[in-house]
Amino acid sequence: MGLFSKCMFTEVEGVVLLNGEPVEGAEVISSYDWSNKDERKSKKLLTDSYGKFSFPEWSSKQFLSSILPMEPVIRQEIIIEYKGERYTAWAFNKHSYGRGDETGKSPIKLVCDLAMEFKRHPLEGVSDKYYGICKLQEEQVK
């Protein structure tokens, strides 16, 4: 990342399951809303036959935030749509520009079972939490 480049959303790798079985063809939508710059972006894709999906790191550039101290507020969200239902997989407010700052690791590795309930997930070693049906893969949990 360059001097003016900021990590908006760390790379994500995940799998979508339904009762432990892979879900092929689920639509996964990743988005962020950077309030400091009034910038909103989103991408969508379909899960493969193993239920897997991935999004590359999202970055953005802004000169002003590199020279003036300001706390960023970056609203991140991953939504899964499957068979007419909509699931919030990941919802997080990022307050920094570092790669991997969301969980302390990069990439973010998620297991998203559509049968799970939406809930709050505390993050060990990080002073924040995320919400959604996904859980971090075990090897990523500190």
- Residues 18 and 49: their CA atoms lie apart, in Å, by 13
Q: Considering its fold, how many domains does the chain have in total?
A: 1
pLDDT, tens digit, 9 for 90 and up, residues 68-104? 666 788 999 999 999 999 999 999 999 888 899 999 8
- Residues 57 and 10: their CA atoms lie apart, in Å, by 5
Q: Judge whether residue 117 has pLDDT over 90.
A: yes
> What CATH number is given to the structural domain containing 28?
2.60.40
pLDDT at residue 1 in the model = 45
- Residues 130 and 48: their CA atoms lie apart, in Å, by 25
Reported confidence tier of residue 38, pLDDT bands at 50, 70, 90: confident
Tokens of 40: 């909103």
Domain span at residue 63 reads 5-140
Among 132, 128, 133, 71, residue whose Cα is nearest residue 97? 71
**Beta pairing, strands 12-18 & 52-55:** antiparallel
pLDDT, tens digit, 9 for 90 and up, residues 96-105? 888 999 998 8
